Amino acid sequence: MPDILPQTAAMLAIGDELLSGRTKDRNIGHLADVLTLAGIDLKEVRIVADEADAIASAINALRRSYTYVFTSGGIGPTHDDITADAVGQAFGLPVDYHPQAYERLAENYRARKLEFTEARKRMARTPTGAELIDNPVSVAPGFRVENVHVMAGVPSIFQAMLDNVMAGLPHGRAISSETLHCPFGEGEIGGPLADIQKRHPGVAIGSYPKYEGTYFHAEIVLRSRDAAALSAAKADVEEMLAQIVSSRPSA
């Protein structure tokens, strides 16, 4: 796969429920879609349990390797919400109530005539110096420390926070893609497709097998930031597919 991608990102999804099968993650695919549109290349995803050491060591590995890190989960009010502490541990920063976060939450519970319990106050805790990520859905904010963006796990809140984050990031040149349907299995195209990839190093060519119980077919996806390179590679793949079709005995 040619390296044509300037800004990189990683995601860390946090939560026992994702690893027990109880909750099926819906944030990874959404982040992937959003980053692709923004021209930022998602390079790695990890899912870890609600364990501080596991979270902290994953954050440290990812934040040093990629331009941006996005996390989901573990920022609510219960004892298993330990992401803020784990991020503090990763950065060697103390974790305390963030003044603006505390005030936003206090005001919200005052207005709703609900007690601002110790549990609810947990949602105001961040590593010292963190910048808040607004939560238009349910007030309790996410936060950013350096290149690590810490967001909620509930999909509607994750998505709203991500919208706020993306508005502030410099976008890369978006990748364009072309998808060609291949009506036969990958075994027929593997050799010629490898040759085409070699001739077009500025285009990432992927082949994705499909099987729904009767026969194999495939989708060939070409991706590039260079429109001319993409067109040239696409023409070569189309010609290759046409040659295979014409060489087959008719039914």
Interface of this chain with a copy of itself, residues 221 to 250, rule: CB under 8 A: 221, 223
Site string for a copy of itself, 112-141 (x = CB under 8 A): --x--xxxx-xx-------------xx---
Q: Is 181 exposed, middle or buried (0-12, 13-18, 19+ CB in 10 A)?
A: exposed
Shortest distance, CB of residue 219 to a copy of itself, whole angstroms? 9
Piece of 84-92, 127-135, 198-206, 237-245 that binds a copy of itself (CB under 8 A): 198-206
Shortest distance, CB of residue 48 to a copy of itself, whole angstroms? 6
Q: Which of residues 25-64 bind a copy of itself (CB under 8 A)?
A: 25, 28-36, 41-51, 54
CB 108 within 8 A of CB 139: yes
For residue 113, the 8-state DSSP code is T
- Contact status: 165 vs a copy of itself (CB under 8 A): no
- Contact status: 4 vs a copy of itself (CB under 8 A): no
Rounded distance, CA 139 to CA 130, Å? 17
Shorter beta-carbon distance to a copy of itself: residue 41 or 236: 41
Shorter beta-carbon distance to a copy of itself: residue 20 or 92: 20
Rounded distance, CA 203 to CA 100, Å? 46
- Contact status: 18 vs a copy of itself (CB under 8 A): yes
Q: Which two tokens stand for residue 88?
A: 């503090």
Q: Is 132 exposed, middle or buried (0-12, 13-18, 19+ CB in 10 A)?
A: middle
- Contact status: 106 vs a copy of itself (CB under 8 A): no
CB 134 within 8 A of CB 100: no
Shortest distance, CB of residue 94 to a copy of itself, whole angstroms? 21
Q: Which of residues 72-101 bind a copy of itself (CB under 8 A)?
A: 76-80
Q: Cβ of 33: how many Cβ atoms within 10 Å?
A: 11
Rounded distance, CA 84 to CA 81, Å? 8
- Of 94, 170, 213, 228, the residue at the interface with a copy of itself (CB under 8 A) is 213
